[in-house]
Amino acid sequence: MIAGLLAWLTSGLFILLLSYSVQRLLRTDRHAVDVIAWLFLLVFTTTLLMLVAGLVGWLRPAPILFLSLAGITMLITIGPAKRVLTGMLGESKALVRASREWWVGLPRWLRILTATAVLLSTARFVFLIWALPPFVWDSLSYHLSNVAHWVQVGRIETFETPVTRIFNPANYEVLATWFSVFVHHDAVIEAAGILPYLLAVLAVYAAARGLGRSRKASLLAALAYGSTPAVIIVATGTKNDIHIAAYYLAALAVVCDLSFRSAGSANRKVLGQLTLLALVLLIALGTKTYILHLAPGLVLIGLLATRSDGRRTNWSLRLKSGWQEFRALTRPQRSALVVLLISGLFLGTFWNLRNWVVTGNPFYPYDVLVAGQTVFEGPESEFRLSVGELAANLESFADKFGDWQDPIRPDLPNTTGWGWFAYAIGLPAVAWAAIRRPRARPLVLGFGLSFLLLMLSTGPSPWNMRFAIWFPALFSLCFAELADGLPPVLPRPAQIGLAGYFTVLLTLNFIGTLNYNRVSAEEFQSMLALPVQERHAALFRDNMPDPYPLANQIVPSQVVLGYNVFGNGFTYPLYRADFAQRIVYIPFSNSDSCEEVADAMEARGTRYLLVAPEHTEDDKIALLRACADSGNIIQERASGLYVVKR
């Protein structure tokens, strides 16, 4: 364990130094963009390091420690990187000084609110990560099953399972691996969403600054977005939606800065921003393909945006400036930038290329239809642009609007998850900004286009608003316009009233997320009664069918556990929190005989077979029950857990 922690710390140091060195290449004349570039690069380099280690079969603490030490040695010995790192201390001091100036320039009440929000949010995140194992459906079905398998075998690879969505682009899962491979445990795996959460919140701040908003209004916007229930809840939900939101908003921040801001244009550095934009969109592509549906909204914002002088941005001029900046770089800098872009391409395309090679379909497991013709076949239903989908989705959205049907929970069932601020202040702010501030209209249209394209293409379901948790940023950005539009001198009662109202709405947003609006005190207590290392996902009874905890208690972790679930069933809880349990898929059909099922189990090296209601087809469960009732080849050891006896 100590060796694992040391390797983890060393790897963290390498990622920190590497990100810092790379970030120097992407520097702009805007601090807010530089900060999001640095946060983003932490995610980017971690994902890249883990993907490379995983593909060469080095997904273990010792090889990663070796890679990290080699990387650190290289960084502190090669000339350009060495020069960058030696300037790190001086830059850190300057950063602290600038942050202090920024902080004291804020109104006192806003400083108190910000400090309180940071403290309470940190406490909430730490407590929930520490107390609960992963429990959100899709993560137990496929996201974390990838992580568990990779950590078990020390390599990133595909494996036999009925859950074909393990083939989905998996940059998030690769990042999550960094949070579990060193200690061979999932105790803090939920923390993989914290950095993207911060990136998303700070991207809202940077976007507001790019729009020309004051620091105070931009911070209010960032706090409001950061308090959105759907965003807070999803951050530790062990799924990739917070990552896509962070990448969409980081790209938005760059687009806003490039297209709305005219101040400082003489000295501005475009190359770093264009590179950042490309990297953000590429990593998003390797995280979830639906970034393709959202990106046209960003393009629209960039095309329609007008600067304070009323002119539109000339993008060909921007690209030309970027090219000139590239040519002015030194040779090592140019090489580093090219390597960076190639790395981005690798992270953006690896999963689809792998699927193409392995299955013949880059978008496996999904069908791809073009003009009604099937171009690629897959076992899952296809995604396509369809007016029928749009109508069904908009109807479903109308039902979800206002969050009337259900509490806001991690999967966002039947809700938007936008929360108090968005509905009470955000909606009027958007309406006001669209009418009174022409420069806000491209934002409204761009967000609207991204949302419509999403609704055109995603399958109608009660849970699909989790794909749109970037949308409430529109409310925050329009609110920043409103906040800056207030008269410079307001009567004191009005100041107190507005600040109090804002604070109350954010507080209501926050308190609704304390237990994911779902976990009872008894469920918390049942987990807290266990040592951290024994808080297995299978033992968290919130949504876990009986066979899972029974298998956890009965089947020794040294033997192989067989399972049969359908394409959306849970597999992750079977691995145990320390990934000690080997598991194997036992395919059989309801027309098989009991002997054939037993043969299939033994052929795959196991005596145990788990099936579970709502996770396994009923006729298969019925077959196993009949086997257990009628013969002595297969016996029911516990509910849903069968054993071969012969």
Partner 1 sequence: MLSNDRPITKAEAYPLVAASILLALWYATPQLFYSLYSLYEFARLLAPGLLKSVGAGA
Residues in contact with partner 1 by CB under 8 A are 212, 214, 308, 402-404, 407-408, 420, 423-425, 427-428, 432, 436-437, 482, 484-488, 501, 505, 508, 511-515, 517, 519-522, 524-525
**What tokens were used for 535?**
């808080």
CB of 487 to partner 1, least distance (A): 5
Handedness of CA 161, 162, 163, 166 (dihedral sign): positive
**Cα–Cα distance, 511 to 166 (Å, whole number):** 34
CB of 494 to partner 1, least distance (A): 9
Sheet holding 582-585, edge to edge: 582-585, 560-563, 608-610, 641-644, 634-638
CB of 535 to partner 1, least distance (A): 16
3-state secondary structure labels for all residues of 87-147: CHHHHHHHHHHHHHHHHHCCCHHHHHHHHHHHHHHHHHHHHHHHHCCCCCHHHHHHHHHHH
**Cα–Cα distance, 109 to 172 (Å, whole number):** 37
CB of 414 to partner 1, least distance (A): 12
Task: Say which amino acid occupies 170.
Answer: A
3-state secondary structure labels for all residues of 520-583: CHHHHHHHHCCCHHHCCHHHCCCCCCCHHHHHHHHCCCCCEEEECCCCCCCCHHHHCCCCCCEE
- 259 or 513: whose CB is closer to partner 1? 513
CB of 237 to partner 1, least distance (A): 16
Residue 290, helix vs strand vs coil: coil
- 520 or 589: whose CB is closer to partner 1? 520
CB of 429 to partner 1, least distance (A): 8
DSSP state of 610: E
CB of 428 to partner 1, least distance (A): 5
CB of 520 to partner 1, least distance (A): 5
- CB-side exposure of 397: number of CA atoms within 13 Å? 19
The angle at the Cα of 364, spanning 358 to 370, to the nearest 5 degrees, equals: 120
* Residues 6 or more apart whose Cβ sits within 8 Å of residue 644: 598, 601, 602, 607, 609, 633, 634
Region of 614 on the Ramachandran plot (φ > 0 left; ψ -120 to 50 alpha; else beta): left
**Cα–Cα distance, 259 to 158 (Å, whole number):** 42
Task: Say which amino acid occupies 194.
Answer: I
CB of 420 to partner 1, least distance (A): 6
- 13 or 424: whose CB is closer to partner 1? 424
- 380 or 484: whose CB is closer to partner 1? 484
- 431 or 626: whose CB is closer to partner 1? 431
**Cα–Cα distance, 289 to 243 (Å, whole number):** 12
The per-residue DSSP string of 384-447 comes to ---HHHHHHHHHHHHHHTTS-SS---TT-TT----HHHIIIIIHHHHHHHHHH-GGGHHHHHHH
**Cα–Cα distance, 478 to 474 (Å, whole number):** 6
